Amino acid sequence: MRNPINRTALSGVIALSLGLALSGCGGVVGGNRSLESVHQAVVERTNYTLDVNAGPGGLSLPEQRRLAGWFEAMDLRYGDRISLDDPLASGATRAAVEAVASRFGMLVGGDAPVTPGYVNAGTVRVVVTRSSASVPGCPDWSRKTDISLNNATSTNYGCASNSNLAAMVADPEHLIKGAAGSGQTVVMSSTKAIDSYREAKPTGEGGLKQESTKDGK
């Protein structure tokens, strides 16, 4: 004798199958319905280190030259950050490193990031932190807009703008947090010459200089 078909269980299986099928199409039918791009710039930091020998008077001349050569090889640029990991926190050593960094137009920052290894006493670790920005997953032509039935944007939406921004930004850290203002706008700086011209006293304010013409001189 055959077992009777459980119609209730069969209906549940069919409903579950349809639900899974529709959920699988959700990525195609739904998509990104906002004007915010799915692909955003990602900022990555890389730490480069150099250990130099330091004494009571700071860095010796050979060590300063070695540090300067490393900075030159690193091709220091705007956006790089220099920091020191000095177990003794020597002011003379910091002053020596700042003097070398100033030749490249750079400043030495505060606390150094955590780097692998241990810094022994008498050794100072100079850390150069360099950031880079990119937009992972771009270009993305995995789905076209004409497939979307829910007024969604293309999967490649925003890739061009965000990739160009990541490539052109001078300091990638500004994509995370913008540069702090100095309180002086560009307009205020550009009007200094105009203000100086307006505030200057006229050349004829003191009257004309009198010259004697006696004896034709």
Q: Residue 94 gets which letter from DSSP?
A: H
pLDDT band of residue 72 (cuts 50, 70, 90) is: very high
Lowest mean pLDDT of 1-5, 116-120, 155-159, name the range: 1-5
Q: Which residues partner with 131 through β-bridges?
A: 45
pLDDT reading at 105 higher than 50: yes
Cα separation, 46 vs 48, whole angstroms: 7
Give mean pLDDT, residues 19-38: 61
Lowest mean pLDDT of 15-19, 79-83, 211-215, name the range: 15-19
Amino acid 154: pLDDT = 84
Give mean pLDDT, residues 76-81: 92
Cα separation, 135 vs 142, whole angstroms: 16
pLDDT reading at 26 higher than 50: no
Amino acid 40: pLDDT = 93
Stated length of the chain: 217
Q: Which residues contact 213 (CB under 8 A, 6 or more apart)?
A: none
Q: Which residues partner with 152 through β-bridges?
A: none
Max CA-CA distance within the chain? 149
pLDDT reading at 205 higher than 80: no
Q: What is the pTM of this model?
A: 0.64
Amino acid 153: pLDDT = 84
Q: Spell out where the chain has E strands.
A: 42-55, 58-59, 81-85, 108-111, 123-134
Domain range list for the chain = 45-131
Q: What is the pLDDT of residues 125-138, one digit of tens each?
A: 999 999 999 999 99
pLDDT band of residue 184 (cuts 50, 70, 90) is: low
pLDDT reading at 5 higher than 60: no
φ/ψ (deg, to 5) at 134: -155, 165
CB 161 within 8 A of CB 175: no
User: What Å distances lie between residue 115 and 61, 85, 138, CA to CA?
Assistant: 26, 9, 31
Cα separation, 214 vs 211, whole angstroms: 9
Q: Residue 216 gets which letter from DSSP?
A: G
- Sign for the pseudo-dihedral over CA of 87, 90, 93, 99: positive
CB 43 within 8 A of CB 144: no
Buried b (16+ CB within 10 A) or exposed e, 163-178: beebeebebbbebeee
User: What Å distances lie between residue 59 and 53, 85, 90, 119, 135, CA to CA?
Assistant: 7, 14, 10, 16, 41
Amino acid 188: pLDDT = 64
pLDDT reading at 61 higher than 70: yes
Amino acid 178: pLDDT = 82
